[in-house]
Structure 1
Amino acid sequence: MAQDAERDAMRDALQLARRGPRGVNPQVGALILAPDGTVLAEGWHRGAGTPHAEVDALSKLAPGAARGATAVVTLEPCNHTGRTGPCAVALLEAGVGRVVFALDDPTPLAGGGAERLRDGGVSVEGGVLADEARDLLADWLTVQRLGRPHVTVKWAQTLDGRAAAADGTSQWITGPAARADVHRRRAGADAIIAGTGTVLADDPALTARRDDGALFDAQPIPVVIGATAVPADAAVRRHPRELLTYDTHELTAVLDDLRRRGVQRVFVEGGPTLASAFVAAGLADELLVYIAPALLGGPRLALGDIGVASIDHARRLRIAALDTLGDDLLIVARPAEGTP
């Protein structure tokens, strides 16, 4: 069983992992601990072609300094040679006596590092703070497991579940703090999707903007789904990234094409019709629900028919986070284990 010092080190390693870029490769952090728990070195993966976290940490030590030490890593050390060599071999050659990691590597090519370390006489323990690591790598894990981008579906609603008033007005249900949070999350996505109904009704720019209105350096690719043409003067056509349009209701086909284009993180912000379609299709990996302390009543629900006929078939979720943003509440939810 992992010791308290190892669990504390794993928390630090997860923070180190967040320093690395989100992209094709997973964010990984590592610490090397002396037998008394003292941190000897730390490292993280800085992107494709750079040393992996374990090797980055080992590189900061003198030869032989890691002998008998414990390596704490957020992802199982890899067991293959790509642009860099196998981290499992690097740890063996450094003389590390114990390896603690959070998640098994799900990729057939890179997995197996734990077994290789055990075969080399190293004490190995996996699954330490696995839930925290899984939340950090949720989008990368989705791509590895399902072969499609990770999908976040966002909507804003009143306390009684309405996305708009009876006359269709919806700006603004939530306050400035919640809207700023949305824009920060947009900037972390590779693509943002809206439906043609939303584009025609609200004329959104689909950009990620700072509090002062300036654009974030990172901008998601704007994507519009629907049969109706996007008007020539629509705000989304002035987006700094090229607009992608899909005249189809086949969401899986859209995601497959986006994956071929290198997209890993999709942000769906297209109104109740599109949100309901992604949820009904079992394609929502994460829900961001912004709730304002207001009541509207009426028929304009934030989510429509998702194919649930009885309570027995409810789409069960687990709450990943609860945040207060000004007067509003953000619930981050993900499908419960075994739920489509």
Structure 2
Amino acid sequence: MAYADQEVGKARDRERFRRRTEERIAAGLCPRCGTAPPAPERTMCAPCNEKRNAASRARDARLRAEGKPRRDPVREREYERERSRREAAARQAEGLCVRCGRKPAAPDRSSCEPCLEKRRAADRARYAAGKAAGLPYGGANADAKRRAGRAKSKQRQKTRLEAGLCIRCGQHPPAGGGTTCAPCRKKRQVAEKRQYAERRAAGLCTRCGAPVHDGLSRCAPCAVIDEAGRNPERKNARSRKLYAERRARGLCTACGTPSQGASRCAPCAEKSYHGSAHFKGIPVWDPSFTVIELDTGREHGPFDSEADVALCLAFEKLDRNRVEVVSDASPMASLTSWG
């Protein structure tokens, strides 16, 4: 029957087709031809299945010859994902392995033990290949691995803190009101000192490992971060505690070496004095000499000794009366030379 509105006709045809299909399925017949029962584990009978398969093969061959995909890739992926989810849910409801569907799943797992072992072997092989190629995390997604590792570490630390255990080993209670036990703290300090020494020797930032200049221990960004995050009260309290402990043990409060009852050992005391704001007078430096020609104003030098000045006059063939020798000496030299 023709309809004036094609959309109305299509809707009624779909409704009629759906109703006819439901009636045939309810009667145990093939929904396509309605004359024979469906084949085992199929919804259509064998002749209809064969006709449909032949038509599909012909369509696939035609599309392949035209260089077109057999199906819409997006729709195919969505269909396969949905089918896989339905299949996994059905197998899990029956207590079977979601991968093979033949054996019962392992305890607290969704797959059976053979499938789990196959997956582990594949993961190990993939990791080994990626590691041999020099890829981080064996070629896996580095960002995802790091996020998962941080989340797992945070959860593990939280669990151990609630249980009153060391967050690193989880075997001993924390020491000194901290979060790690004494052995773990000592191991960490040894590792940090070794890393600090290695980076200092290599001229790198002791915090991030980036190159530094002028022999500094930290690069500019790390120095800013440390300064912003530094707590003066905490630092002063720690310094006072360390000072009291070393004074009670008769050690130098600066380096911790024996100081014979003094607050500082001799080297540290001298270093502290030279670095203080105490008035030390004018420094004494080695004298230097400069020869200036009176006629031309040309300068020779500077020289470290009067003997070098004499050699300069002889080499340049200069008259002693036609030059001026300027001496740059410390004012303290005249006072200390009498000693």
Q: Is the TM value for this pair above 0.5?
A: no
Q: Hey, which of these two has a bigger chunk of helix by percent? A: 2
TM-score by structure 2 length? Answer: 0.19
Task: Return the index of the structure with the highest Cα Rg.
Answer: 2
Higher relative contact order (CA 8 A, sep 6+): 1
Q: Hey, which of these two has a bigger chunk of strand by percent? A: 1
TM-score by structure 1 length? Answer: 0.19
